[in-house]
Structure formats: structure tokens, C-alpha cells
Structure 1
Amino acid sequence: MIAVLAAAGWLGAGGTAVAGRRRIATGLAALALVATLARAATTVALARAGWWFAAEKVVIAAPLSLAAVVVGVRRTPVALFFAGFAATGAVLVTVLHGYPVSAAAALLTVAGIAAATAVTWRLLHRRTSRPSVAVAVVALVAGTGFAVIATASPEPPHRHVPVAAATTTTSRQAVNGPTKRLTLTAGTIDGAWAFNGQVPGPEIAVTVGDTLEVTLRNRDIDRGVTLHWHGYDVPNDQDGVPGVTQDVVLPGGQFVYRFKADQAGTYWYHTHSASDIGVRMGLYGVLVVRPAPGAATTGDNECAVPNGSCADVTVPLHTLGGRLLPEPTTAQLAAGTPVRLRLINTDSTTHRYAVAGAPFRVVAIDGVKLDGPTPLENTALLIPAGGRFDVLTGAPAALFVDGRLVHSTGPVPPTPGAWPVFDPLTYGAHSRAPWSHIDRSLTLVLDRGLDLRGLLPRYAHTVNGAADPDIPTQVVHRDEVVRLTIVNRSLVVHPWHLHGHHVLVLARNGKAPTGSALWLDSFDVRPGEVWEVAFRADNPGMWANHCHNLPHAEAGMMLHLMYA
């Protein structure tokens, strides 16, 4: 806001100076000078405090602001306009480019400022300012050269493989044990895309120890389909990412997925081919993996296996054509009957859930049990895109999503109001991390700005200043403990999702969790937040690592993690 005020002040001073209103021009210039000095002071203070987003303000915006002050104090119309262009350029670098600082961005900004100054000189004096033109040309050529050099840098190890014709493919793995087989056929129906003619697709329920074998067929989805087992840490060749782990399944083709069910919990599946369209149109479904017979089913898992005294309800929330699914349902249960609600957010944005009418506990997040969950009341749950919360409550109770009734087990209580929001980092019994060291640290800075890696700049959702497919692949070695620092420099929420691994939350904004160990596969990184998470590299392959706001991923916010 201070930077915008400074730019507006200098430009306003230039405009009023041209109009002959010198007193107003002087006042606006003084305002711009104060704002410029204030911006310098706040930037220095924040940089000294370790602010993640100070780099381009120190390296690029600061020299431009200094030039604005030195030239602008002359108070001629052209000088004031130059100061305004310099201040505006500093703002645009922050908004459009930002991270990381690059010579190309700095030089192209200087070229724009010099060109704008040359045009202004021409309009006001009816002659050309040769120094301004020369600076603009030299900066443009040099900035373009640096951008080309960046483009010509070594390619990331990952390259998309060609899409093959429709084929029948079977997993390379030999998986033994009882096998549950089913077929999912993707096709269009009544304006939606569906598995087996229904939205959501069939619920897949297996038991730990089973082998799941799913034959995916594509009837008529021209964009192609795959199956990604969201949150389930399958072997790499079963992950369903087209161009990485398999070819897309085109109309008339099929692919056979086969893997061992070894993780009890709540998960879901969806297409990963043109997923921003396919998932929104209806290509998704629920995957529930229940404990093996004889496994401990007491305590927080007492409702893991449906029986005569317990209700197990899956709620895959989805927005289809502007309509929220599922439709409201009611199951009249005897008072005190345990109810396990498996809450699944299949949309690309966060939803607000509320359990009303009875106390509840959050017993698992993203398929992983929490330690020592305590009863909650009058508390809202924010579930990120792709995330799952398992909630244990008792009848009668009601589930609301964004203020809309979704499920009830008796009389419906009043619609919840502005309840405080549940913080999973402070919930449950505290437990220590399983590692005493970190072998490798990687950083992801999420942003929206100009991607200068290609021959033509594009405005994209970026990671470390680049957009897919130009984001360098991050490389790890097997059995390393890897720390990911994920920083959101943008103005929107990014629900982050690493395939093939659950990550342990180490810190959010520098503060370590005080509750149960939190193993996540989908989590919201809000504007300005810094998350530190870690995982053990124990699932070899090439893995997608992306924002699960799927339009963001389609617009560039997708990279890959590769085992060396």
C-alpha cells in the first residue's frame, strides 16, 4: 500500500505540474517522498526480521526508489513522471515477478521505465531524448539476453513422455494375497463425466492385506483419463500421473492398477488427466481401507468396522455444476450410537465443516490416526482441497458444510454460527518426531507472476519463479530424511499435495506443533505462511508435487520429485 501510494504521488505530481498547478504538484511530490522513505524503512525492518519476501525490494525496488527520489526532487514534469515510472516499476516487479530476484527482471524493468520516460519527453518537448532511448534499448537487449540464457539452462531431469495409443497395461509388480477386482469405466452422462455412470464413482472398500485390482476403461472421454489414489502411498507405477508414471488412457483403451492395501484410513481416487476439468466434471470416488480382522478396533478406531451398534458414513463433498454434493441425508439412530464421519473434500478450495448437536473428536487426518484426541464442541473444521478428516461423534448429531445441512442422525439443531476454527497443530497428545536429523532441505516458494523461462513471458502460478514444465525437478536419495520449506508469497491459498508420501509437520510460521504428530498429504498454505514439513524418502520413483487447487496446477504450479 505504501509503494502504491508513492507511485501514485509521483505520477500525480507530474500530471499536476504539466497542468501548471505547481503548489499541488509540490504537495503530491512531498507525499510521494514521505511514502518512498516509509517503504524503505519498513523494508529494512522486515528484512532484518528475516522476512522471506524482501529480496526483490532490496535488490531491485530500492535502487529504483533511490533514483526516483534523486530525480524527482528536481520537480520538473519529466522528472516527476520519471519518479512515478520508477516507483511503479518497483511495484510491478513485486507483483508480477518477485521471486527469485533475476537480472532479466531488473533490466526489463529499467527498459520499461526508460521507454516510458522517452515517450513522456517526446510528448512534452516534441523531441526525442536520446539518453532515454539508448538506456531503453541497451536494457531491453541485455534483459532479453539474460532471459534467453535462463531458458537455455540445463533442462530438468523430467520430460513428459509421448502419449501412446490406447493400450492394455498391467502393473509391473507381482502382488500376492486376496484380490478384490473391479472395473471403472469413464464416460460422459447427462452433462457430467462419471465412473460407471454415477457421480461420485463407486465407493471402493477393502481390508488391510487385500490386493486391489482395478481395470480402468475409457469409453468416450476425449481428454483421456487415469486413476490417482489420492493420499494412498502406492508404488510409483500405480500413481496415475499421465506422462510420468503411465500414458493417458484414451477412448477405447484401458489400464490395470494393482497394489497391496496396507494403510487403513479414508482416501479417494480421481482422474489425473486434465484433472482441473475431469475432477470438476465428476471423475472421482471414495477409497476406504479398513483394519484387518483381529486388528485393534478399540478407542479411536472403535467405529472403523461397521457393526450393529456403529454407523460409518462417508461424505465426499463436491461441487458439480454449481450444486453441492452429496444431497442431504438422514439416518435415524438411537441416542448415543457412535458415528464415524469420513469427511472428504474433493473440490479445489477449502470448505468449512461443522458437527452440531453432540461433542465430537477428530480421530484421523488424511488417513493417519491422531494421538489423544479430545472432545470438541462448537468448533468449525476447515478441510483443504483433497484433505480428509475422520470425525467420531454420537447420535443425534448433524453435519453442516458451509452452513448447509449435509447429514443428520436425528433432530436437526440450529445452523452453526461463527464458531472458532479447529487448529490441528495444537490438538491431541504431543509426540516427538521420529528423526533426529535432516539429510536434505528443499524450498518451494509459491507465487503468481511472470514466468520468464520460456521464449514468451506468461502470467502463471509459479514455484521458485518458474511454471510447469520449466520448474526444475527436485532430486532426493533413498532413505534420506527430507525437509520441505513451503512459502506462500501469493495472495491466494495453495493446498499443497506431494504424491507417494505423507509429510510430518515440523513448523508453521516458525512455531512447532504442540499436539499429536501430524502426517498430512494435503494442507493449506495460506498467503504469507511458511510451512516446514519432512518425510523419509522410502518410496522410489518420479512423483508429482503440486497445488491441489487443480486450476492452479494446470496454470503452472506443478513440479516433480525424483529419486536419484
Structure 2
Amino acid sequence: MTTGSILAADLLIAVLAAAGWLGGGAASVTGRRRLALGLAAFALVATLARVVTIVALARAGWWFAAEKVLIAAPLSLIATAGAGAWWLRSRSVGVALFLTGYAHSAALLVTVLHGYPASAGAALLAASGVIAATAVTWRLLGARPSRTVSRTAGVVAAAALVAGTGLAAQPGSADVVPHLHEAGVAAGVGEPTKRFTLVAGTTATGWAFNGQVPGPELTATVGDVLEVTLRNTDIERGVTLHWHGYDVPNSQDGVPGITQAPVLPGAEFVYRFRADQAGTYWYHTHAVSDVGVRKGLYGVLVVRTVPVTGVDVTIPVHTLGGRTLPEPRTERIAAGQPVRLRLVNTDNTTHRYALTGTPFLVAAIDGSDLAGPAPLTGTAVLIPAGGRYDLVFTAPATPVALLVDGRAIWSTGAVTTATGKWPVLDPLGYGRPAPVPWSRHDREFTLVLDRGLDLKGLLPRYAHTVNGAADPDTGVQVARLGETVKFTVVNRSTVVHPWHLHGHHVLVLSRNGQPATGSPLWLDSFDVRPGEVWEVAFVAGNPGMWANHCHNLPHVEAGMTLHLMVRG
């Protein structure tokens, strides 16, 4: 089993255990003793099974089991043992079963609502809930505990509640690193050789740049200086331009509150940067991005080293109002022509791409060329949210088609090949390997991705978290210019998190402890699936404050973002 499947199994077993104990209590108080015994036996088996899953998760990494080992397991096992002793000495069998059920429910809630890391506040709140619920149940069932027991239980529950709430709601300890919001063009770039204007505004179907979705394709040749003027006509919450995957100077990165203020209706902002990275990239608003990108504020940026030869096609895949873009199209291509398909995933989730009718190479990922790519046939590729793959091939005399999630998007003719059962390429083992360029890392940071109840703001919210905190309490990680930085990115949640660092590409070192064995893989967007642990590294070569976040944009809105400060 994968760590992700163990995480899912652990949650299911926890639910079954809690339901078994509570069900047993309900059966006992209604006089159905056999059913109560049966449910209790089932719950005991589930409790022992959860011990197995917790041990397995702890072996996979402390991140996956911290709150289970320190809070959930002790709470559940102590309650189970205590209820067993109570059962043997008392006629209050129902209360004993309810006590165990409450403890298992609290243990489950610690994992679901609190997550990583384990904290004294969560332990106190869980204990308070169990004590209070048991005391109330005891009284309602007419067992009439002694006044001393009642008072003691009330005092302990209240004290645990107050202390736990105080600890849980403490202001975050996030570091605050001063930075400037620089307006205007970056210094030292030079005079522009290519100028573009993008006008953001509402349309009948959503939002758009220059009245079209996607926005205009921006193209350049290495050495060009691009100047892009962004204007906002009527989008009230403001817009910006973020150059996804393009390592621009920090002042041009387009992150509201970090590098610039949002461009409000009637205003404009001028971006200027040098085109020194060839490859396939894209741009999108970073202001209210979970709404703006979904509604259509995105487009493609392509930088080439030489003029186009052969057929060069960009295919940004996007879901707009439940409709998949682009619309299917057929393009007639003469046999023998070189073809490059630039695939861009602008959605929040992974898409599956299958090219049928010809062998092909994956020439580049996220704008970086791969070394020694081998021909592929009958193989699909998965592109994470924000990611890009360049597929190249020589056009055959027979039809070729690109299918996205089983739907033909681009073709040279009718193709009927079924691709649903094709294996998926693992890019970590594709291409010719090369030694890692560093022998050590100057800085190491761990990012544990999770979800839980965020109590730091005025109103509680269920948030996607990094290291147990949600933005703006996630803090700033600091590196000095030129240092080598290693990130360990851990996903202990049950959903995929496509991770994206601004201003830098990262070199993949390993996934789940297995080193990358293919071409050096420089990425700016990569899927961290449930239970996965990625190790990536990079040189902090671009000074400034950089966003570092999940590119499932609703997750960002729900708190899954932090920042990297590279100090010059």
C-alpha cells in the first residue's frame, strides 16, 4: 500500500471504530445486550487495526503520524482500557461504551480538524470534550454519579477547554520580513524591443484580456526586452500579471501585497523584463486568482531561441464555465514536417494527455529542455496544475491526435485509438541522468501540507495549511543570495497539491525516498500526491520576496501559501 492509501484507510478505520463504540453504547442503553457486545467487539478490532495503520504511518514519516501517536492513540487506548475496567466493576455498561466512543471520536477530530503538528491545545480540547460528553451522558442515563465526581469532571473539563482554546487561538509566530512594493519597470533591463498591451475586463461569459479567452499569445525571442502594459477597465477587485514559471525580477512578479498593489479599474501597470529563458510559459492574474483565472484571465507566453520552423502549436487547456477549452480542431500537416505541441495546464487540477498515431519525445518540461529524451509510444503524460510539457515528433502520413482526459483536442485527421489504459510516464526516470550540481545544502526547509481548523483569525475557518498554519500566519523562510536551498515537501492530506515556487525552478532530488534517475528535472510546478514526500533543491539566485504555494488556487485562498525571502 502507498502512504496515501494508508492515510485513507486510517481515517476509515477511525470512523468505524468510533461508530462501533457509540453504536454499542446506544444498543446497551436500549437493552440489546447481544448487539452491544457485537458492536463493541467490532470496535475493538477496528481499534487494534488503527494501531497497525498508525505504526505504518509513523514508519513512513513522523509527519504522517505525529498527532496520532501523541494525542489520538493515547486518548483512544486509555479510554478503551478505562471503559473495560469500568464495565467489569459497574452496571453502567452504556456509559463505558459511550466514553470510549467519545474518545475515539475526539481522536478522529484531532486528525481531521487539527492535523499537523500535534499541540497541547488540541490535546486539551479533545480531553475536555470527552470528559464533558461523558459526564452529560452519565447524568442523562440516570446513573447519577456522586457530587464529587460531577464537580471534579466539570472543573477538569472547563479548565481543559479554557487552556486548550487559549493555546489554539494564540497569534501565529510567523516571522515578518520587511520588503518593498516596487512600482514601475525593473531597473537595468534596457529599452523594450517588444511591446504588448493587455486590457482586463468583464465579458458576457466571464473575464478576459483584450476581450478573448485565453488572452493574446505573447511571443518573443531570447534577448528581447518585453514591455507589457496592463490596464483594468471594470474588474472591481483588481488584476495583476504573474509570469508563471518565468523567473522575472521580483518587482515584475505580479503578486498583490508582495510585489505590487492590484491594478484597480481605470489604472494601469507596466511590466518590463528581459526574455532570457527559452520555453513554454503562461501568464495569469494573481489578484483574486482563484476567481480570475477560472473566469478567463490567463494566456500563453512563448520564448524561442530561433524563428519558428515546422509546426509550433500552443494548447492551453482550461475549464471555463464547465466547458473545456480549446475547442477541438483539425490541422492538416504534410508528412515529414517537425511538430512541437506546447501543452499548458491552466486549470487547478491534473490533466491526462495522450498523443496517438506517432512516436514522440518529451522535449521540455516547465520550459526546461530534457537531456536524452527517448521516443515514446502508447504512453500518456500527466501535467499538474500550472505545468507545461513540450511534445515533439515528425508528422507521419497517417493521422495524429492529442487527447486530453480522453477527449480529442487537436488532430491531423480522424483517429480511433483508445488511450484510456495507456501507462503514464514517470518523468523522474525519463532521459539521460547527470550528477547533482551541489554537494551540500546551505538551508533546509520542510513544508508539511495538511488541512485543519484555523483559529488565528476573527472567525474560525477550515483551511489548507502549511506546517500547521494558514496564510497569513505561515511565515517567511529566509535564504541569502547564492545559497543552495533544499525543500522537503510532505503531503499528509487526502488531496493532491500542485506545488509552485515563484522566481526559481527547483531540481527534483527524490520522491518518497527514491532518487530521480532520469534527466535533471527542473520544475516550477509539481504534483505532491497524498502521502508523498518530495525533496527538491535550487540556488537562491533571484533576490526578493517570493510566493511559494499550492497551485490549486482555491487552496491558496484557503491559506496554503507562504513566502521565501532571498536577501541580497
Contact 1:161/1:243 (<8 A) preserved = no
Please say which of residues 524-533 and 64-73 is displaced more in the overlay. Answer: 64-73
Identify the match of residue 7 of structure 1 among 18, 22, 29.
18
Contact 1:355/1:397 (<8 A) preserved = yes
Identify the match of residue 279 of structure 2 among 243, 256, 265.
265
Equivalent residue, structure 2, for 1:287: 301
**What is the distance in 2 between the residues matched to 1:225 and 1:127?**
64
Equivalent residue, structure 1, for 2:508: 505
Q: What is the root-mean-square deviation of aligned Cα atoms in Å?
A: 1.9
Identify the match of residue 80 of structure 1 among 97, 122, 137.
97
The amino acid that maps onto 2:46 is A
The yes-or-no answer on 1:208 pairing with 2:210 is no
Equivalent residue, structure 1, for 2:243: 229
Quick one: structure 1 residues 419 and 155, their matched pair in 2 at CA, closer, same or farther if it must change by over 3 Å? closer
Q: How does 1:401-440 map to 2 (within 5 A)?
A: 401-440=404-443
The amino acid that maps onto 2:164 is G
SS at match of 1:561: strand
Quick one: structure 1 residues 447 and 350, their matched pair in 2 at CA, closer, same or farther if it must change by over 3 Å? same
Q: Deviations over 1:501-531 (max 9, x none)?
A: 0000000000011110000000111111111
**What TM-score, normalized to structure 2?**
0.92
Structure 1 residue 424 displacement after superposition? 0.3
The amino acid that maps onto 1:558 is T
**What is the distance in 2 between the residues matched to 1:53 and 1:510?**
15
Q: Deviations over 1:285-309 (max 9, x none)?
A: 1100001x5xxxxxxxxxxx423xx
SS at match of 2:47: helix
Contact 2:449/2:489 (<8 A) preserved = yes
Structure 1 residue 480 displacement after superposition? 1.0
The amino acid that maps onto 2:431 is G
The yes-or-no answer on 1:199 pairing with 2:220 is no
Equivalent residue, structure 2, for 1:561: 564
The yes-or-no answer on 1:514 pairing with 2:528 is no
**What is the distance in 2 between the residues matched to 1:160 and 1:190?**
39
SS at match of 2:283: strand
The yes-or-no answer on 1:219 pairing with 2:233 is yes
SS at match of 2:392: strand
Structure 1 residue 42 displacement after superposition? 3.8
Contact 1:238/1:245 (<8 A) preserved = yes
Structure 1 residue 348 displacement after superposition? 0.7
SS at match of 1:24: helix
Identify the match of residue 292 of structure 2 among 271, 274, 278.
278
SS at match of 2:63: coil
SS at match of 1:53: helix
Quick one: structure 1 residues 138 and 456, their matched pair in 2 at CA, closer, same or farther if it must change by over 3 Å? farther
Identify the match of residue 176 of structure 2 among 151, 157, 162.
157
**What is the distance in 1 between the residues matched to 2:298 and 2:284?**
4
**What is the distance in 2 between the residues matched to 1:461 and 1:92?**
16
SS at match of 2:129: helix
**What is the distance in 1 between the residues matched to 2:437 and 2:456?**
39
Q: Deviations over 1:156-183 (max 9, x none)?
A: 3158999xxxxx9521413126510111
**What TM-score, normalized to structure 1?**
0.93
**What is the distance in 1 between the residues matched to 2:153 and 2:324?**
57
Identify the match of residue 260 of structure 2 among 234, 246, 250.
246
Q: Deviations over 1:195-221 (max 9, x none)?
A: 111111111000100100001000111
> What number of residue pairs does the alignment pair up?
543
Quick one: structure 1 residues 280 and 512, their matched pair in 2 at CA, closer, same or farther if it must change by over 3 Å? same
Q: How does 1:469-508 map to 2 (within 5 A)?
A: 469-508=472-511
SS at match of 1:232: coil
The amino acid that maps onto 1:382 is L
Equivalent residue, structure 2, for 1:102: 119
Unpaired runs of 5+ residues, structure 1, are 163-167, 294-304
Which ranges of 4 or more aligned residues in structure 1 deviate by more than 6 Å? 159-162
**What is the distance in 2 between the residues matched to 1:43 and 1:170?**
53
Compare relative contact order (CA 8 Å, sep 6+) and give the higher one, 1 or 2. Answer: 2
Structure 1 residue 70 displacement after superposition? 2.1
Q: Deviations over 1:360-380 (max 9, x none)?
A: 100000000000001101111
The yes-or-no answer on 1:331 pairing with 2:331 is yes
Q: How does 1:21-170 map to 2 (within 5 A)?
A: 21-48=32-59, 50-73=61-84, 74-75=86-87, 76-125=93-142, 129-148=150-169, 150-151=170-171, 153-157=172-176, 169-170=183-184
**What is the distance in 2 between the residues matched to 1:402 and 1:559?**
32
Structure 1 residue 410 displacement after superposition? 3.5
**What is the distance in 1 between the residues matched to 2:155 and 2:336?**
81
Structure 1 residue 478 displacement after superposition? 1.4
Q: Deviations over 1:471-505 (max 9, x none)?
A: 11111111111110111111111100000000000
Equivalent residue, structure 1, for 2:452: 449
Q: Deviations over 1:93-141 (max 9, x none)?
A: 1122120011111111111111211221221127573332222101001
**What is the distance in 1 between the residues matched to 2:433 and 2:417?**
34
Please say which of residues 368-377 and 88-97 is displaced more in the overlay. Answer: 88-97
Q: How does 1:314-463 map to 2 (within 5 A)?
A: 314-395=314-395, 396-463=399-466
**What is the distance in 1 between the residues matched to 2:503 and 2:417?**
41
Q: Deviations over 1:421-461 (max 9, x none)?
A: 11101100111111111111101111111123335432111
**What is the distance in 1 between the residues matched to 2:450 and 2:503?**
24
Identity of aligned residues (%): 69
Equivalent residue, structure 1, for 2:7: none
**What is the distance in 2 between the residues matched to 1:413 and 1:342?**
23
Identify the match of residue 531 of structure 1 among 534, 556, 559.
534
**What is the distance in 2 between the residues matched to 1:46 and 1:180?**
54
Contact 1:452/1:466 (<8 A) preserved = no
**What is the distance in 2 between the residues matched to 1:179 and 1:146?**
57
**What is the distance in 2 between the residues matched to 1:123 and 1:446?**
41
Quick one: structure 1 residues 199 and 42, their matched pair in 2 at CA, closer, same or farther if it must change by over 3 Å? closer
Q: Deviations over 1:301-358 (max 9, x none)?
A: xxxx423xx1000001111111111111222111121110000001111111110111
Quick one: structure 1 residues 57 and 198, their matched pair in 2 at CA, closer, same or farther if it must change by over 3 Å? same
Contact 2:186/2:252 (<8 A) preserved = no
Contact 1:177/1:210 (<8 A) preserved = no
**What is the distance in 1 between the residues matched to 2:167 and 2:192?**
58
**What is the distance in 1 between the residues matched to 2:298 and 2:286?**
10
**What is the distance in 2 between the residues matched to 1:41 and 1:530?**
21
